[in-house]
A = this chain, B = another copy of it.
Amino acid sequence: MNSRKYIVLNPFVGEPKKEDFQIVEEQLSDLKEDEFLAEAVYISVDPYQRMKLGNVYPCDMIGGQIAKIIKSRNSEYPVGTFVMGHFGWRTHTITKPSNEKFCGQKPYMYVLPDFEDLPLSLGLGVCGRVGNTAYFGFTEICQPKWGETVVVSGAAGAVGSHVGQIAKILGCKVIGFAGTEEKCKWLVEELGFDHAANYKTVTVEKFLKENAPNGIDCYFDNVGGELSSIILAHMNNFGRVAVCGAISNYNETDPAKRKATTLQPFIVAKQLKIEGFLVNRFADKSMMGIKQNLKWVKEGKLKYREHISEGFESAADAFIGLFRGDNTGKAIVKVI
């Protein structure tokens, strides 16, 4: 049996290009004891994948997937079980439950909880690691309090749209920044954000003065760069900033040219706390986050959008599109 997988041929220079990727076939061996064979159903496409590749090229493309076990020599993982695993961008995977770490943390694989009538793809988005990034990143790093003002950048992305809704559930006022009018409309009209603005067309400074007149208490930052510099200048004393990503910088290969978030000197005067995080640090309670998010989805309190591309071959384009702002909500590739 063969698996198809994506390899990355060379380090990305600037925007990722289709030519940076190649799909190759890999022959799979027979199952050993405790192993199973899983077939990818949905593959996850995330901005962080750009940053996490190794130093040796060509290399396998990393990423999570929802896979169905189609052969098994492990009685705890019978055929028909759906798992979320960090198997990379590949159609078939032979593996076994292990203590193997991913990015220094366990687990790299788990059996999906029962989604009932909800789509399995949620296991890559709102009810998976992306959902946990929003849930734990926002609640634990920002420590939001009832009535506070929260700003989210990259607000129409998978994580940002989720953070804003949690903030509303927790009684905060929420302002989102996104890159198109349509995304902003979705944030306000469907997700219940108090305000949203297209950072490309509004004067961010003026917009914040009008819509966050009492200052910002929490900022959930997905983008970094100049937008963040302006937002940070409007923070209140003891404001908390969760830095989840810096998508505005990911395509800049020269570190010296990366747009810096200007935080001097008001980080001192306002006693701001700015903390970056990766979802892995919350791995020991990941199922708790998944179940809380699943509960909110079922109760209708947490809405989501998925940007689904069809077919294994569409993954590279879906990835490139992330950095162009093509997606609203979670980018996913439907493999079968």
Residues in A lying within 8 Å of B, measured CB to CB? 51, 104, 224-225, 229, 237, 243-246, 248-250, 255, 258-278, 281
Q: Give A147 to B225 CA distance when docked, in angstroms.
A: 35
Chain B residues, Cβ within 8 Å of A270: 276
CB closest residue in chain B, given A262: B260
Q: Is the CB of B264 within 8 A of A259?
A: yes
| Cross-interface CB contact of A271 among B259, B271, B272, B277, cutoff 8 Å | B277
Q: Which residues of B have CB within 8 Å of A268?
A: 51, 243-246, 276-278
- Known A-B contacts: A249-B264, A267-B276. Give 17 more (CB < 8 A): A224-B264, A244-B268, A245-B265, A246-B268, A249-B265, A255-B262, A260-B264, A261-B263, A263-B274, A266-B276, A267-B275, A268-B276, A269-B278, A272-B275, A273-B273, A273-B276, A275-B275
Instruction: Please state the number of chain copies in the assembly.
Output: 2
Q: List 5 A-B contacts (CB under 8 A).
A: A243-B268, A244-B268, A260-B261, A263-B263, A273-B275
- Give the Cβ gap from A59 to chain B, nearest Cβ, in Å: 17
Closest Cβ of chain B to A154, distance in Å, is 13
Residues of chain B within 8 A of A237, CB atoms compared: 104
Nearest 4 interchain pairs by C-beta: A267-B276, A246-B265, A260-B260, A268-B276
Complex Cα distance A76/B16, Å? 72
A266 to B273, CA, bound (A): 16
Distance, CA A149 to CA B259, complexed state (A) = 28
A271 touching B262 by the CB < 8 A rule? Answer: no
Distance in angstroms between the alpha carbons of A268 and B274 in the assembled complex? 10
Q: Which residues of B contact A259 (CB under 8 A)?
A: 264
* A272-B276, A273-B275, A275-B273 known; A243 vs B267 contact (CB < 8 Å): yes
Residues of B within 8 A of A272 (CB): 275-276
Which B residues are CB-close (under 8 A) to A246?
264-265, 267-268
Q: Considering the complex, give the chain B residue whose CB is closest to the CB of A275.
A: B273
Q: A260-B260, A264-B224, A265-B224 are in contact. Are A274 and B271 (CB under 8 A)?
A: no
Chain B nearest CB from A208 CB (Å) reads 16
| Bound: A265/B274 CA distance, A | 13
A278-B237 Cα distance, complex, nearest whole Å:
10
- B-side contacts of A273, CB under 8 Å: 273-276
Return chain B residues, CB-CB under 8 Å to A266: 276
B263 touches A271 (CB 8 A): no
A272 to B277, CA, bound (A): 7
- Inter-chain CA distance A130–B255, complex, in Å, is 36
Q: Which residues of B contact A276 (CB under 8 A)?
A: 266-273
- Name which residue of chain B comes closest to A228, CB basis: B264
Q: Which residues from B are CB-within-8-Å of A264?
A: 224-225, 246, 248-249, 258-261
Contact B278 A271 (CB under 8 A): yes
